[in-house]
Structures are given as C-alpha cells and as structure tokens.
Structure 1
Amino acid sequence: MVSIPLKRLLPGLVIGPAAWLGPYIAASSLFLPALIQQINSENKIELVALFSTCGMVVAAVSNMVAGLLSDRTRSRFGKRTPWIVGGAFFFMIAMILASMANSVPPLLAAWMLGQVALNFIVAPMVAWLDFAPENGRGTASGAYGGLGMALGNNGFTIIAAAFLGNFRLGFIIFGIITFVGTLIAVAIVREPGNLNEVVAVKAEKKEKFQLKEVLTIFPKWSVGRDYYLALIGKLFQGVGNFAITGYLLYIMTDFLNKGASGTQTSIQLINTIMLIFGIAMGFIAGPISDKFNVLKLPVALSTISLGIGALSLFFLRNDTAIIIYGFTAGLGMGIWNSLDNLLNLEVIPDKERVAFFLGVYNLGNTITQALAPVIAAAVISIAGFSAIFLVSFAFAMIGGLCILNIKSVKR
C-alpha cells in the first residue's frame, strides 16, 4: 500500500477539496441561479430543478466511471493524479463556457460538462485518504472534510457573494481557481508512480470487464450493509443541507424579502459563521476521533444540529434565525465533514476498489446538491418556501438514524 507522510498529505487534503468544492458551490448556489434568473426569471424555480435533475444523472454515472478508471490506472504519476488534473482542466473550460451562455440550451450543455469534469476530480481525490498512515486517518479525514470542505462550502461563498453583481465574471474566475488550486494540491501530495503494478495486473485472469463483474459491481446487502447505511445516511443528510443552501439566494429574496444589499450581507454572515465552525472542527474532530476511538456517534449526532438550524428559520423567519442557522448548521456540518469520509473508509466492503467506493459515497457532495433542489422545488410549488425547512429537518434526522444503525463501527 502507498503511504504518504502527513506533512505532504494534509496540505493537499485541504487545498484539493477546497479548490473543486468552493467554485462548484459558488456556481451552483449563486452564479447559476442568478444567470437562470437573468435568462428566464418566470421559470427560474423549474429551471434550477431541471439543471439539478440532469446534473444528478450525469454526476452519478461519471463518478462511478471515474472511480473505476482511477483504480485501474497505472502511470508514472500514480492512479489518481492524471484524472484529477484532467477533470480540473475541463471543469475550468465548462465554467468559461457557462459564463458565455445567453440561453438555456448552451448553459445546460456547459453545466453537464462541468458535472462530468467535477466527478473526475472528486472520485480520485477522496481516495487520497487511503494514503494516510494508519494512526493518522482521523487527522487526514479532518483535513479533507473539516478544513478543505469548510473552505469550499463556506469560505468561497463569502467571496462569491461579492460577484452577484457580475456573476458571469464569477464563473470564469472560480473556474480558473479550480484548475490552479488542483495543480497546487497534486504538486504538494506528489503521488508516487505505480507502473510497477502493471506486471501484477497482466498476471491476473482476464475477467475484469466481463458481464459477471458488471452485475456484481455493488455487493449484496448482507456484505455491504454498513456501507449502504453510511451512503443512505449521507444522501439524506446532504439533501437536508442542500435543500436550504441550494435555494439560499431565493430564500433571502423571496422568503425573507431582503434587498440586494441585505441578501449579500446575510449570505456572507451565514457562511462566515459556518466557515469558523468548519475550520475549528477540522482541527478538533479528527484528532479527537483518533485519540478516543469515537466515530459513529459524532457523525450521527451532527445531523441533529443541522436539523435545529433548519427549524430556526421555519419558526423565527428573521435575522436572529439567520444567526442561529449559521451556528447550528455550522457546528453540524463541521463535525460531519470532518469525520464522515473516515466513517466510510471503515465500512468499505472491498479494499481493492477504494476510489470506486469512496467516489460513490462522495456523490453525496454532488448528487445531493442536484437532488435537493428538485425536492425543494416540488415542496415550494405545493406548500411554499417555509415547507423546505421542515423537509430539511426530516431528511437530516433520517440520515442520522441510518448512521446510528451501522454495526461494524461501535461508537
């Protein structure tokens, strides 16, 4: 097994996910809704749902393909690096194309290209966690999820909110950030080459791509029970989170009736608070997990905090609710992002396909952002904006219950 020292791996696990997730969150939650509103304001809710549905399908397929290809790759740069760099380049191109779109079809095409490219970053990069030394996996997971994803989820959104007045330029700048940031991350990690594995692969029976393997690519429930529970838990938790963040711009303008200045200030406030908690948990949660051998309980209980934040917006509907949401959702997401990848690494049913299973699991970071707006759009059309907060609470609770039912991780 490849082992990379934490002094190299940790910076890469912070910069890497921040470089792909930050621009994607900025584009999906702010720039894309703003551009859709400019192109077709009358159908903006339905169009966001359409983009999300198409993105969900493309993300699911491309993520699995990227994971499989990465696991099978042999190169002087290792298994992961070629796909990560290629994905980052084409994501940048997709964002530039999106900035030029003046109608729905070319914007949708550019967005789908971006979804494919993004997942060729995500699936191989999360497998970097498997490079961590055995006694430092909690710390590595905290760096990836707590620090890297906190910067991506919230840090970049603070900056992106300032581009709402010029969101086309935002597409371009944040696309470039993905490519440059990814190059920096892979240069720091310096994944070793694995050409020496070629001989071992050729010696195997040539059954890799037979139909039998395709049909059994996912193990049956009795074998992969805990992995599936972790995956289901992540999907429900992700929908609970992104049902709100995916419509945050419209929540501020259409639900809380804030003007342009108030919307920008509120979005920046929420993301500043969540960024602080995310960074704090990135430093704290992973090392505590390593020291006290506790993993399942904090991951599950973090969803309760997320649910409380959603309820605060439902009941209070004012600036106080915005602050409470920032604190509770920030704490919950900080703990979750710090430890959920480590939890999944513990329950993977086949250690020979780490990138594939980690990649599928991390569809929760892309597919739920696509699925949540579809669910939210349906709920909004039936019961109005206020109902999405109840949906967020319910989904977060179900996600936590799934995590608690994992058996192979005791606590």
Structure 2
Amino acid sequence: MLESPPLPAATPAPQAPHGFVRRLALGQFGMYLAVLAPVMGGLSVKIQDLVGLDDAPAQLGLVSGTGALFALVAQPLAGRLSDRCASRFGMRRPFIVGGISVMALALVACALAPNVPLLLVAWCAAQGAANVAFAAAGATVADHVPEARRGSVSGIVGAVTPIGIMIGSVLLSVLPGDLLRFAVPAAIAVVLGFWFAARLPDRVRTAPPDEPLNLRSLLLSFVFDPRKHPDFGWAWLSKFLIMLGYGALAGYLTLFLAAEFGMDDTGEQLRFNALANGLSVATLVVASVVGGTVSDRVGRRKPFVMGGGLVMAAVLAVVTVTPYLGDAGLGTLLVLEAVLGIGAGMFFAVDNALAISLLPSQDDTAKDLGVLNIANTLPASLSPFLAGVVVIPVGNALLGGAGYSLWFGLAAVFCLAGALLVTRIRSAV
C-alpha cells in the first residue's frame, strides 16, 4: 500500500474546534471564580467571624488544607475514570456537569455553616467536586488542541485564573453577607460550565477499555515512574515548588493585613485585597497572553517558566520587609502585587504547554494530567498547614511576631528552587 507523502513544512497546524477555546476559557473562569473567591478572602473572613483573629490562622490552615487534600485525591481519580468513560454523553462531559453541580451546592453549604466543623465538611465537598470538573475540562486541551497551538491556548486559559481571582475579590468586597459571597460565584460557575459542557465536541468511546478497573489501577492514578519519564518528573517538581510559593501571599494576605498593619476591619481587608488582586491580575493577564504567544513563535518554553519563578521569588523576598516600612508598607505591597502578576503570567502562560509536551502516555491523557495537577493541588494543601500551624506560630514565638515574614521568605525559597529545577528538563527547550 502506498504511503501518503509528508505534509509540506508550510502547512499550518490544525486548529481547535471553532469556539472551543473561548468556551473553555469562560467555563474555566467560572469554576476558578467559584473556588478561588473563598480562598482569596471569603474563608478567612468567615473564619474570623466564627473564631476571632487570634485563632484564625490555624483554623484557616485546617479548613483550606484539608479541603485541598480532597482536591488532591479527586483530580487524579476523576482523570482516570474520565479516560475510561464509555458514556454516550462523552468521556469528559459527565464529570464536568456532575462536578460543577455538587460544587455549587457545597459552596452554599459553606456560607450557611454555623461552625468550623460543618464549614470543613462543606469545603471538602466543594474542593473535591470542583477538581472532578477541573480534571475533565483540563483533558479537553490535549483532546482538541494541537501541540503547535498549546502555548497560546494555555496563555489564554491560564489568564482566566487570575481574572477569576480579581472578579472574586471584587465580589467579596461588594456583596453583603456570606451567603451571597459564596452563592453568586457558584451560580456563575454553573451557567458558564454547563454552557461549555453542552457545546463540547466530546470524545465518545465506542468500546470499554481493555484493562478492567480495579484497586491497583485506581492507585496508579496517583503515580508515574520518574525513572522512565525523568523530564516529566522534573516538570512536576518544578511546578509543585513554584505553586507552593505562589499561593503563600494570596492565601494569607487578609490575615497579614490584620496582624502586621493593624487592619482589623474585615471590610477594609477585603477592599485592599480586591485592589491588590486587581493590580496583580492586570499585569498577569498581559504577561500570560503575550508570553504564550511569544513562546509559540520562538518555540521555547523553559525560559518563560524559569523567568516567572525567579520574578515571583524576588517579589516574595521583598514582601517580608514591608511591615517595617511604616506608612509606605501598604503602597509597597500594591506595587509588589503588580510585579508578582508579571512573574505569574510568564509562568502560567507556558507551564501547561511545557508539561503537556512531556506527558508519559497519550492513551492516559486525563490520568497523567491528573498526576500533573497534584503539583497544583498538593501545595494548596501543604501551604495552609505549613503556614497556619507551623511557620507563622513558630515565627511569632521565636522572632518577635515576624511569623508572616518568615512564611513569605520561605515561599521565596520555594519559587527560586522551582525555577532552577527547570534546567534539569532535557527533552524540551
């Protein structure tokens, strides 16, 4: 049989389905808005009202950290099940719709929780369900976007995360009461997520997988062999460390303002939080979109990931001294948030494109992406425990109340280490 001749070099790469990227970006925006608005201030304000400022760091660490553990488990499992799904509705759609539905109900329960134990249960349910949807939605990029376009698509989709943070921060500052602060973002997620799922040209399995589903295969959802795929391993570890550092400021900004700057009023905390996140998002969106496009044109990923990590490390190092700058401290924080957005934009623009190019198996895309996304969710679990239960209390006790500065300094070290580890990736540029 005659083989078809190779495509000429000038032939453009295939395109994603019409409107897919726009709908994916909006769907991801809705989901990020729903789960990040509480992380960016909604939970800390709720917990301050329940237990007071002194106990808030540890209780916030308990609630957000345990919830992130549920996210850690849910995403790889959902990815594995999504890859095997033979539903007539598609491989990804059932997980997107089901995850968003449970997430929305759980967020309403968070708002109504009268104490920390019930808040903990509701938040764990919200995080687990959200990451079921994230696992399936993230796999659609590998399903439908060709390699040559993934940098620009990752830049666009990556930009919706900070936009979700910014809009969520604004909603937190203007919506009265916990119910609206949790329920309005959840409603937006339902509308945009369902729209994306309804219009998704989903893959449909015509036959079930050859291998049966058992406990061993489920446990393998959480692992890969770094000896066989070392570059994927280095990409995973780099992402993990940078994400561990990046989330340090956002998760504890409101409590930092109260403890170090005397900003006791929660309304004032949320307004400053909205302004800071607005500045960070503005620069992040520009850096993400521009960085993703430039990365595609020059055909390089690693310099953008490294550069983003180094910028974030420098910003977090300077944050540690802002409480000692007097009246200039708050203004300096706002400037640093803007610079942090530049670094984060460079990182988010191409990090996913780099990692997708290193996936161990094209037959287990969602499963491998689930493993990769542990590098996103595990830091979100470890960070609150490290900060609220260990670093901040120890720093306050041993360094005369400098616990928050110690935490941000440690976060700078994480970002620096993650940036340097990118140099160990050999099969990508």
TM-score by length of 2: 0.87
CA-CA distance at 1:216 after TM superposition: 8.8
Q: How has the CA–CA distance of structure 1 residues 254 and 214 changed in structure 2, closer, same or farther, with 3 Å as cutoff?
A: closer
The Cα offsets for residues 89-148 of structure 1, whole Å up to 9 and x where unpaired, read as: 100000111111101221111111111101111111111211113331111111111x22
1:374 to 375, 385, 388: 385
Q: In structure 2, do the counterparts of structure 1 residues 11 and 96 end up closer, same or farther at CA, with 3 Å as the change threshold?
A: same
Aligned to 1:136: 149
Residue number in structure 1 paired with 2:102: 90
**Aligned AA for 1:316?**
T
Which of 198, 207, 214 does residue 209 from structure 1 map onto?
Answer: 214
Determine which structure has the larger helix proportion and give its number. 1
* Contact residue 242 and residue 373 of structure 1 kept, 8 A: no
- Alpha-carbon distance in 2 for matches of 1:316, 1:217: 40
Which of 186, 189, 192 in structure 2 is aligned with 1:178? Answer: 189
Cα gap change, 1:212/1:379 in structure 2, threshold over 3 Å: closer, same or farther? Answer: closer
The amino acid that maps onto 1:59 is A
Which residue identity lines up with residue 156 of structure 2 in the other structure?
Answer: A
**Separation of aligned partners in 2, 1:100 and 1:209:** 38
- Larger deviation: 104-113 or 211-220? 211-220
- Which residue of 306, 309, 315 corresponds with 2:312? 306
Q: Deviations over 1:72-103 (max 9, x none)?
A: 11233321111011100100000111111101
Figure out how many residues of one structure are paired with residues of the other and give that number: 400
Which residue of the other structure, out of 180, 188, 194, is the alignment partner of 2:204? 194
Structure 1 position 4, deviation (Å): 6.6
Q: Is the 8 A contact 2:321 2:405 kept in 1?
A: no
Tell me, in whole angstroms, the C-alpha distance in 2 between the residues paired with 1:87 and 1:213.
19
Query: Alpha carbons of 1:106 and 1:290: their partners in 2 closer, same or farther (altered >3 Å)?
Result: same
Q: Distance in 2 between matches of 1:116 and 1:80?
A: 16
Question: For 1:280, which of 276, 286, 289 is the aligned residue?
Answer: 286
CA RMSD in angstroms comes to 2.1
Tell me, in whole angstroms, the C-alpha distance in 1 between the residues paired with 2:292 and 2:74: 30
Tell me which amino acid in the other structure corresponds to 1:353: D
Unmatched segments (≥5 aa) in structure 1: none
Task: Compute the displacement of 1:375 (Å).
Answer: 1.1
Amino acid at match of 1:134: E
3-state SS of 1:367 partner: helix
Take 2:279 and 2:263, find their aligned partners in 1: how far apart are those partners?
Answer: 20
Supply the distance in 1 between the matched residues of 2:215 and 2:373 (Cα, whole angstroms).
26
Gaps of 5+ in 2: 1-13, 324-328, 396-402
Asked if the contact 1:77/1:191 (under 8 Å) is kept, the reply is no
For 2:338, the aligned partner's letter is F
Closer, same or farther: CA 193–35 of 1 in aligned 2, 3 Å: same
Q: Which residue of 2 aligns with 1:348?
A: 359
Against the structure 1 CA distance between its residues 262 and 191, is the aligned structure 2 distance closer, same or farther, given a 3 Å change threshold?
same
Q: Does the C-alpha gap of structure 1 residues 287 and 391 become closer, same or farther in structure 2, counting only changes over 3 Å?
A: same
1:166 aligns with 2:147: no
> Is the contact between residue 52 and residue 371 of structure 1 (CA under 8 Å) also seen in structure 2?
no
What SS does the aligned partner of 2:426 have?
Answer: coil
Q: In the alignment, what sits opposite 2:414?
A: 395
* Structure 1 residue corresponding to 2:122, chosen from 107, 110, 113: 110
Aligned to 1:19: 30
C-alpha deviation, 1:308, in angstroms: 1.8
State the identity %. Answer: 24
SS at match of 1:352: coil
Cα drift, residue 214 of structure 1: 4.5
State the distance in 2 between where 1:278 and 1:375 align: 26
1:253 corresponding residue in structure 2: 258
What TM-score do the two structures reach when normalised by structure 1? 0.91
- Matched with 1:361 is 372
- Which secondary structure does the structure 2 equivalent of 1:385 belong to? helix
Tell me how far 1:366 sits from its aligned partner. 3.2
- CA distance in 2 between partners of 1:118 and 1:217 (Å): 18
**Structure with max Cα Rg:** 2
Q: Distance in 2 between matches of 1:364 and 1:22?
A: 20
